[in-house]
Amino acid sequence: MANALKPADFHILLALAEGPCHGYGIMKEVERESNGDVRLEIGSLYRLLARLLEAGWIEEAEGDERRRSFRLSRNGRRVLKAEAARLAGLVDLVRARKLLPESGS
Amino acid sequence: MRNVVAALLYLFPARFRREFGNDMLATFNERWREQPGVRTAMRTVLDLARSAAQEHLCHPSASSVRPEGDKLVSIFLQDLRYALRTLLRSRGFTAVALVTLALGIGLNTAMFSIANAVLWRSLPFPHAEQLVQVGEVDAHDRSSYWGASYPNLEDWRARSTSFEYLAGVMRDDHILREGAEPVHIFGLAVSHEFFPALGVAAAMGRVFTEAEDRKGTAPVIVISHQMWTRRLASDPAVLGRAIRFGDTAYTVIGVMPAGFEYRRAEYWTLLGQVIEPHFQTHRNVWVLDTVARLRAGKTPADAQREVEAIAAQIRRDHPEVRRDQVVSVTLLSTQLSHDLRPALLVLLGAVGFVLLIVCGNLAGLMLVRGTGRAREMAIRTALGVGGSRLIRQLLTESALLAGAGGVLGIGLAWWATRSISLLTKDPRLLDVPIDATVLGFAAAVTAGTTVLFGVAPAIRATRVDASEALKSGARAGGSRERGRAQRFLVVAEVALCLTLLAGAGLLVKSFRRVLEVNPGFRSEGLVSMRIALPLRYSTATAVSVFYRQLVDRLKAIPGVSDATIASALPISGGDPNGDISIAGRPSSAGELGAASFRRVMPNYFELLGIPLVRGRWFDERDDGSRGRPVIINANFARHFWPNSDAIGQVIRIGPQDSNAWLTIVGVVGDVKQSGLEMNSPFSVYEPLATGASGRFEVAVRTAGEPDNLLAPVRKELRALEPGLLVENLETMSQRITGNIAPRRLNLLLFGLFAVLALLLSAVGLYGVVAYAARQRTQEFGIRMALGAQPGDVLRLVLGEGLKLVLAGVCIGLIATLSLAHLMTGLLFGVAPTDPATLAAVAMLLAVVALSACWLPAQRATRIGPVDALRSE
């Protein structure tokens, strides 16, 4: 779990942390939370979803019959938390080197 | 677009597609609903292609376990994966191939989709193949379409049996004053058979009845869905509502379905109600178009024979009917697009040539690659791989390339058909769908392309002697044979390119000729506009007073030297015209031809710079009180009075039973009344004061920049009369530019294709000459070691290129001479085999081609003998 997640994977997991979501919802959420930096078109999106499903980090949620919804698995939540912690650690390090303004003060 | 995505899903491994295909489509549909557009389309297509490729590469195990159990399929998948890897390895080659393929296939698909939509798609009416247009055409020039007169149409309808319905159609435009601003909208006056003929019923209300189709009935109108929604705010109580055009109130009786479209009409009135009474009796006024539905089993030829017999009888019964006309029955779909047909077909041919050049270039590249891979092929052959398997492998590569190129090409075509609105305003070209037919065409072109550029190199590449190839190191056997194939390709490309360049050259020359045409007046420093007065100017006096005020106000604008009013200005077209009669020269109707007439203010000629040849100009006393003076154009005078004076002669323009005799008082220079490319036939001018009308055109002369006058003129018009409808307020040069817009579009597109062809051919030539020079490195080294000068080597390499170029140019010239007549309809003032043009484009091509050879030749001269000998 020490390896960094790819940004797109991380964003998908993050988008699903809010709750189950279908493909287009994930697409929009990823774009929104990355401020437009990460844009997933359907090809890449479903390729990544297939990988994440295979890795067992996400699983299918009950959706309507037209399209499937996905949600974070327990394992996926752990991965996401670990990655978040890693990133937070990085941010602390960055702050300590005075590259970013202190937050909250 | 959805179909495109659905098709692209087949690029993915079957397992993946089965699992996620439907989901991906649903997701895309949602995205497309929110964000349709070129960007989304391009991004999605590119992303699908990329991720499909990655999916194949990352999960080779997925398909090599052979879930299908089918050997052929698994071999195919193996080939596909191998091809993908090979192509991704040589990225430069793949990129060049993809770009040129996408251009070739994309342009062809775009042109085809336009031609398909305009020329070949059936009209959106039930059994559209039974719809025809019936009309009279010039007996000597069948492309000159006159139309039909009202009484003739009545007779055709009454006496013929070929038609289920035969309807007359007449332009009937009006000014709508429902909103804040008056708008000029276009509609058609049609007989009650019109809607039944097209086979379309009203969506709300009803269409016309036979009983209404005559004078004296309450005016009724059927409106289009677009007019209902856009102009009348989708008024739910629209049926029964009154719409005022001029001083007539029309009751809305029906709204047509959305999507019902015929010649962009927004509404339909009844011909029998609105046609001017004298048009109902005169057989020598061709005011009508027609739409007819043939009875089941009848062909246009049957109908034509029958109507022609009726017309012959009419000519016998009515001696006043013009005789030099015949009836023509043509398919309605042909008739609605006949003006675009020649250009579209020629452009379609041109992009076809571009695609052939693309194929030539790619075949050349594949041959070179084949040489490089001879060792690979030899090893595989030695290991026992059969020739057909190798060919299949190589063809898979070509097909994969062409397929990817085709997908990119469809994207390009989609973008191109949507961007054409930047170049033209023709509504027929704007709404071009990429539908199943177009996708089918693109697929067929892609497959054809694969065969053209892939098969020969594949066969050739595998025909290697294994032991030879392995022995000779990097250099393959059979390179001489391969060189011959490449040279053949280059010659063909140069020939195709020359043909395209010649076409472009002819169009350029035609365009220049059109611009050089003397319009007969000074077009610089002029502002023109078309004006319609509000209804309250109902008397001739009120209109004349307004004329005076308008001219005075316009002349007061700083920079304006003069202003004038006329029923129509030059380069406007749509002139009213009538048969010429001359006093003391008995003639039958139409025997002397027809003249157009317009009414002008006395200062019209001076302001426009139309020279007076003889006699006098109009003056303020020519107000209709003392006879009817007219001014004619020089061509008119020359034609009818070649040896005598036209001044004082008495003529009549119009029906023979009218008694409106006109006296010629002046002769002025010829003017291009209806466009630069039209001949100025016979024109007659009358004083404006003899027929004041609320619809007229205004010209303003300035010594300065006419563009600067547009805003002040508009402001002045607004201040003078807020209810004015002002249209086409533009400079005269803008009006002329608009007049030649179709020609400009043809030139632009054809020129683009020709330049593309030139670039592609130059690249192809460069490739071949460079390759040939590299093959001879050793030879050059030896020559230079033996004392040859760099100039000698340069000559050697250039000579090789020159031979190819000359051969290509010669073949191209022959091809051009045999194809040139196809372009005749698009040219103006230049013969399709114009020697100067052919010589010029041949020179241009030779120069570009030799420049393409120059680089490799230069490089060859810089070879050091030692390097050359070591290169083996």
Q: What is the pLDDT of residues B386-415, one digit of tens each?
A: 777 777 878 888 888 888 889 899 999 988
Q: Is the CB of residue B732 less than 8 Å from the CB of residue B706? A: yes
| CA B457 to each of CA B103, B360, B368, B369, B479: distance values in angstroms, whole numbers, following the listed order | 22, 11, 9, 9, 12
| pLDDT score at B480 | 59
Q: Do A43 and B20 touch (CB under 8 A)?
A: no
pLDDT (average), residues B808-814: 92
Which segment of A73-82, B87-96, B200-209, B233-242 scores lowest on mean pLDDT? Answer: B87-96
Q: Is the CB of residue B685 less than 8 Å from the CB of residue B598? A: yes
Q: Which residues contact A75 (CB under 8 A, 6 or more apart)?
A: A56, A57
Is pLDDT above 80 for B869?
no
Is pLDDT above 80 for B540?
yes
Rounded Cα–Cα distance for residues B94 and B566 (Å): 63
CB atoms within 10 A of CB B846: 17
Which residues in chain B are closer than 8 Å to A42, comparing Cβ atoms?
5, 24, 27-28, 31, 44, 47-48
Which residues in chain B are closer than 8 Å to A46, comparing Cβ atoms?
16, 20, 23-24, 27, 51
Is pLDDT above 80 for A64?
no
Q: What H or E segment, with its residue span, contains residue B412? A: helix B387-419
| pLDDT score at B66 | 41
Is pLDDT above 60 for B330?
yes
Burial track B588-599 (b if 16+ CB lie within 10 A, e otherwise): ebbebebbbbbb
Under the banding of pLDDT at 50, 70 and 90, the label for residue B367 is confident
Rounded Cα–Cα distance for residues B152 and B135 (Å): 10
Which residues in chain B are closer than 8 Å to A39, comparing Cβ atoms?
43
Is pLDDT above 50 for B64?
no
Under the banding of pLDDT at 50, 70 and 90, the label for residue A63 is low
| pLDDT score at B631 | 94
pLDDT (average), residues B694-700: 91
Is pLDDT above 70 for B657?
no
Q: Do B26 and A44 touch (CB under 8 A)?
A: no
pLDDT (average), residues B364-384: 76
Q: Above pLDDT 70, what percent of chain A?
A: 88
| Chain A interface disruption, residue of B4, B12, B20, most A CBs within 10 A | B20
Under the banding of pLDDT at 50, 70 and 90, the label for residue B521 is very high
Mean pLDDT for all residues in chain B = 85
Which residues in chain B are closer than 8 Å to A47, comparing Cβ atoms?
16, 51, 54-55
Angle at B670 between CA B667 and CA B675, to 5 degrees: 145
Under the banding of pLDDT at 50, 70 and 90, the label for residue B374 is confident
Which residues in chain B are closer than 8 Å to A22, comparing Cβ atoms?
27
Considering only the beta carbons, identify the residue of A23, A39, A50 that sits closest to B27. A23
Which segment of B214-228, B794-808, B851-865 scores lowest on mean pLDDT? Answer: B851-865
3-state SS, one letter per residue, for B847-862: HHHHHHHHHHHHHHHC
| pLDDT score at B474 | 45
| pLDDT score at B566 | 93
Rounded Cα–Cα distance for residues B460 and B97 (Å): 19
Considering only the beta carbons, identify the residue of B19, B44, B54 that sits closest to A42. B44
| pLDDT score at B46 | 81
- Is the pTM above the cut of 0.90? no
Rounded Cα–Cα distance for residues B59 and B47 (Å): 18
Is pLDDT above 80 for B777?
no
Q: Do A23 and B23 touch (CB under 8 A)?
A: yes
Under the banding of pLDDT at 50, 70 and 90, the label for residue B362 is confident
| pLDDT score at B459 | 76
Q: Is the CB of residue B834 less than 8 Å from the CB of residue B816? A: no
Q: Is the CB of residue B373 less than 8 Å from the CB of residue B472? A: no
| pLDDT score at B65 | 41
Which segment of B434-448, B618-632, B812-826 scores lowest on mean pLDDT? Answer: B618-632
Q: Do B44 and A41 touch (CB under 8 A)?
A: yes
Digit-coded pLDDT (tens) for B162-215 = 999 999 999 998 988 877 788 889 999 999 999 999 999 999 999 999 999 999
pLDDT (average), residues B84-99: 81
pLDDT (average), residues B645-657: 84
Closest residue in B to A64 (Cα) is B23
Which residues in chain B are closer than 8 Å to A41, comparing Cβ atoms?
43-44, 46-48
**Between B251 and B32, residue with greater pLDDT:** B251
| pLDDT score at B476 | 43
Distance from CA of B120 to the nearest CA of A (A): 35
Provide the 3-class DSSP secondary structure of residue B168. Answer: strand
| pLDDT score at B619 | 84
Digit-coded pLDDT (tens) for B613-629 = 998 988 877 776 777 89
Start-end of H helices in B60-90: 60-64, 71-89
Which residues in chain A are closer than 8 Å to B47, comparing Cβ atoms?
41-44
Tell whether A15 is within 8 A of chain B (Cβ). Answer: no
Closest residue in B to A63 (Cα) is B23
Q: Do A67 and B43 touch (CB under 8 A)?
A: no
| pLDDT score at B574 | 64
| pLDDT score at B282 | 82
Is pLDDT above 50 for A104?
no
pLDDT (average), residues B142-148: 83
Digit-coded pLDDT (tens) for B749-762 = 899 999 999 998 88
Rounded Cα–Cα distance for residues A53 and A70 (Å): 9
Q: Is the CB of residue B519 less than 8 Å from the CB of residue B736? A: yes
At B240, which amino acid appears? G
pLDDT (average), residues B91-103: 85
Which segment of A66-75, B106-115, B725-734 scores lowest on mean pLDDT? Answer: A66-75
| pLDDT score at A65 | 66
Which segment of B269-273, B574-578, B820-824 scores lowest on mean pLDDT? Answer: B574-578
Which residues in chain B are closer than 8 Å to A27, comparing Cβ atoms?
27, 31
| Chain B interface disruption, residue of A32, A45, A46, most B CBs within 10 A | A46
Rounded Cα–Cα distance for residues B86 and B397 (Å): 8
Q: Is the CB of residue A22 less than 8 Å from the CB of residue A68? A: yes
| pLDDT score at B481 | 60
Closest residue in A to B27 (Cα) is A24
3-state SS, one letter per residue, for B322-340: CCCEEEEEEEHHHHHCCCC
Interface of A with B in 37-96 (CB under 8 A): 39, 41-47, 49-50, 66-68
Is pLDDT above 50 for A105?
no
| pLDDT score at B61 | 46
Which residues in chain A are closer than 8 Å to B20, comparing Cβ atoms?
46, 49-50
Q: Which residues pair with B381 in a beta bridge?
A: none
Tell whether A104 is within 8 A of chain B (Cβ). Answer: no
Strands B163-171 and B220-223: unpaired
Q: Is the CB of residue B219 less than 8 Å from the CB of residue B269? A: yes
Helix-strand-coil split of chain B, %, nearest 5: 55, 15, 30
At B58, which amino acid appears? C
